Structure 1
Amino acid sequence: MALTPKKKQSSDDKRSRQANAEQEALVREVDEAVRQSDAEAFLEAWGKPLFGLLIAGLVAFGGYLYWDSRQEAEMERDSEALVGALDQIQAGNLDSGFDRLEELAGKDGAGAAVVAAMVRAGIAEQRGDTEVAASLFQSVVENEDAAPAFRDLARLRGVALNYDDMSSAEVIAALKPLAVPGEPYFASAGELVAHAYLDQGQRAEAGALFAEIAKDDNGPESIRSRARQMAGVLGVDAIEDVDALLEEQGVERDPAEGENAAATTE
């Protein structure tokens, strides 16, 4: 008698578990159906735009790779053209090197094109083609992609070529930004500006600038020597250390001179 309730309870538990399993299976089926329906609805609404976006992205990426490869190939061609022309120039074939660089120098941008223009300008200047050289130098000055050092050098060389045909005011306006101590071309630019000051009758400004050039340790010695002499003519002392200057010039100073000078000072 005691076993009957247990069998009935076991049978009820089994049916309950089976009902729960069937319910869970039904929930899963409904959930999957809903998910599939949502996915289909999403793809139907956004599938084409997303596919188009994907294609556009792939095309853009492919275009970039193509552009990058073209850029590298063009840079290699430019470098080869520049090296070939420089080899001709080094071998003494200036005309051949000048002609080889014509196409490269006519390109936009910086890099090899700027170097080519500067080299052609130098060859033209050496051949006496002042107008051609000045035009090439000016093209570099006006090239905003060129490095500042190249543009400044081109400006300096252009003014040096056309100095006799320029007014003193034009020379000063063009080179005054470069005629500043610490600038790479201070000595060369400063010398031209100082002479332009003299042309204007501004002896004090010219003398002071010549003195600064003479004291510039980074300037070429030939320019410093000329500046020292000009400063002296204009009454400006440009010598900071007489002994150092004499040693630099290879002149031996008599010790007695130094003693006499010291006695005179006292």
Structure 2
Amino acid sequence: MALSPHDNEAFLREVDEGVRRDRMTDFWTRWGKLAAAVLVLALAAFGGFLYWQHRQTEAAGEQGVQLSQAFEALGSGNVTGAQPTLATLATDGRDGYRALAKFTQADILLQKNDLKGAAAKFAEVASDTSLGKPFRDLALVRQTSAEFDTLKPQVVIERLRPLAVPGSAFLGSAGEMVAISHLNAGRRDLAGQLFAQIARDEGVPESLRQRAVQMAGAMGVDAVPVPAGAAANQEAR
């Protein structure tokens, strides 16, 4: 007996569903265990990552507390009590805490007038490529400051040249050392120009700008900043 179009459509739909079921059954028969194993491994890996992330956050919090306690000890004059914690953080601390611990160790050495030891600590931070550039740049400036009297002028100039430029966060401190090195090398013209740049940079602390104005003036360079209103009036004329 011939099937009607409606019955024919229903029959084809049942056959199609049966084929799909057979395919799914065949897939799970062949690959079900492997897929389940992969899923378990993926979940285990994700759980491990979450635990690691949690432990990292906990460790950072613990190290922050430790550094704070070391600072409190230093504030009360207990340098000896702070040093073991600083030594641990300087070796095993996370990036930021490791850098701060070494900076603090260097400052303690500076207080003892151990310029060589302090410079070595700053140099460790400056050469640590795992740290952010601001940490390394600051360490380089402070290292150079500690070593300044023992370095040849050209060494200071070459070391700090990239930081002694307008717009740099370290123009004031690095620029002043470079300008003095130019002066010591007999290049009054370069020293005067750099002092003038320092004096005119509003990002430089006021005390450094005033000193730069005086130094530039001593070399015949007018570095007195022109007030914004006065500059506008001059342009209008």
Normalising by the residue count of structure 2, what TM-score does the alignment of the two structures yield? 0.81
Can you list the C-alpha shifts for 1:85-120, whole angstroms capped at 9, x where unaligned? Answer: 111112122232233211111136522222112122
Match of 1:229 among 214, 232, 236: 214
Counterpart of 1:133 in 2: which secondary structure?
Answer: helix
Matches within 5 A, 1:180-219: 180-219=165-204
Aligned position for 1:139 = 124
**Higher RCO (C-alpha under 8 Å, 6+ residues apart):** 2
Q: Where does the alignment leave 5 or more consecutive residues of structure 1 unmatched? A: 1-15, 17-22, 243-266
- Alignment gaps of 5+ in structure 2: 2-7, 228-237
**Are residues 1:177 and 2:162 paired?**
yes
The total of aligned residue pairs comes to: 221
Which one-letter code corresponds to 1:40 in the other structure?
A: T
SS, match of residue 122 in structure 2: helix
Q: SS where residue 238 of structure 1 aligns?
A: coil
Q: In percent, how many aligned pairs have the same letter?
A: 40
Contact 1:98-1:123 at 8 Å conserved across structures: no
Q: Which of 78-87 and 225-234 deviates more?
A: 225-234
Against the structure 1 CA distance between its residues 40 and 238, is the aligned structure 2 distance closer, same or farther, given a 3 Å change threshold?
closer
Partners of 2:207 and 2:17 in 1: CA distance: 91
> Over aligned residues, Cα RMSD in angstroms?
2.8
> What are the superposed Cα offsets for residues 209-230 of structure 1, whole Å, 9 maximum, x if unpaired?
1122233333234333332222
Q: Is 2:119 the partner of 1:119? A: no
Equivalent position to 2:80, from 87, 95, 98: 95
Structure with greater Cα Rg: 1
The range that moved more, 153-162 or 112-121, is 112-121
Contact 1:109 1:146 in 2 (8 A): no
> Structure 1, residues 9-49: CA drift from partner, whole Å, max 9, x if none?
xxxxxxx9xxxxxx999999977875554333222211122
Instruction: Give CA deviations for 1:111-149 in whole Å, capped at 9, x if unaligned.
Output: 222211212211221122223211221121122332322
Structure-2 change in CA distance of 1:38 and 1:188 (3 Å): closer
Q: In the TM superposition, what whole-angstrom CA distance separates every residue of 1:138-190 from its partner, at most 9, and x where no partner exists?
A: 12112233232222211111001111221211101111111112212211111
Q: Distance in 2 between matches of 1:237 and 1:61?
A: 64
Change (3 A) 1:135 1:163: same
